[in-house]
Amino acid sequence: MKSGRARLEVTETSLAPEDQEAPRLDNPAAECEQPEQQLLSGEMSQEVWSALDELSAEQRAAVVMHHMEGMSVAEIAEAMGVRPGTIMSRLARAREALRARLSQYVEGSDE
């Protein structure tokens, strides 16, 4: 981790089509968790999706392509018709916005 700050990682590999259930960002082993843990996992999942919705369309697209679809910065830049530096900037700004919005869920956050 850079400078000891917590890092938010989005690990879903794809978004589900409209006719399928939305992907879950909570713990797949939730059945083994205590009810309090299940509640927090579900709440966090809702908060992550809500935070993603608050990003600009460009930032959200970059985050989805990079963190959920596994595309490289160069691939995203080509797909969006912009320079790689623009994508890196969008990703950095999106991560900061997500970190600020979701700081209560990130262990070791500065806040």
3-state secondary structure (DSSP) of residue 9: coil
CATH class of the domain at 31-105: mainly alpha
Mean pLDDT of the chain: 75
Mean pLDDT, range 29-56, rounded to an integer: 74
Q: How confident is the model at residue 42 (pLDDT cuts 50, 70, 90)?
A: confident
Cβ–Cβ < 8 Å for 101, 109:
no
For the ranges 17-21, 36-40, 60-64, which has the lowest average pLDDT?
17-21
Cβ–Cβ < 8 Å for 67, 73:
no
For the ranges 3-12, 20-29, 35-44, which has the lowest average pLDDT?
3-12
pLDDT attached to residue 63: 94
78 or 23, greater pLDDT: 78
Cβ–Cβ < 8 Å for 70, 13:
yes
Residue 55 DSSP symbol: S
